[in-house]
Homo-oligomer: A and B are copies of this chain.
Amino acid sequence: MTPSSPEPKAALLGQLYELFRRKGYDGVSIGDISAETGLGRSSLYHHFPGGKAEMAQAVLAFTRTTMEANFLAPLSSDAPLPARIGAMLVAVDRAYQSGEGPCVLAALLSASDDGPLSAGLAQLFQDWAAAIAASLTQAGVDAAEARRRAITALALIQGGLIIARGLKDRSAFAAALAAANATLVRAAA
């Protein structure tokens, strides 16, 4: 209803996304967010009356949107399997800056055991795994094997981010992505 704000929230959501991703749920404070966005505390609570928890859920919804557009959509094209997988992995490499920073899903997972975020996170991981598996079954891979490979690939992506950051060696993320690609495109079991 307020005509002055078509969608200023989009930029704000992007800033929240980056903050939660880099510092984790517990590591980011309202003061951090206020400093980063230039908005006062009360302005933030105007947009998110539920406070930090509501901000995290908004970030999760934002993540779902961008993930569906960047990771899942390429998997549904009618291109050959290697092209579909390659497109997803290129998007993943870009989204995570070649291993520079953490994944927002892992960052939110740290503090969400049985919290309200937990269900949404599980659904997002599940949808990602299902989209990869569906892409494999369409190429003739057995369903159970497709799910195993999808989970292996997701573990390689997430673990690759951790190892690259732990080792301070971004090439470890590239190696993990290469392994994920090999797992997903090798001949049907």
Contacts and interface: CB of A to CB of B under 8 A. Distances in A.
A54 to B, nearest CB: 19
The interface residues of chain A, by DSSP majority, are classed as helix
Contacts of A172: 151, 155
Contact of A27 (B26, B105, B155): B26
Number of copies: 2
A156 interface: yes
24 contacts: A23-B26, A24-B26, A24-B110, A27-B110, A118-B168, A122-B166, A122-B167, A124-B166, A125-B166, A126-B167, A148-B175, A148-B179, A151-B172, A151-B175, A151-B176, A152-B156, A152-B175, A154-B159, A156-B156, A156-B159, A158-B162, A158-B163, A159-B160, A159-B176
Contacts of A156: 152, 155-156, 159
Interface residues of A, number: 40
Interface of A: 23-24, 26-27, 102, 105-107, 109-111, 113, 118, 121-122, 124-126, 129, 148, 151-152, 154-160, 162-163, 165-168, 172, 175-176, 179, 183
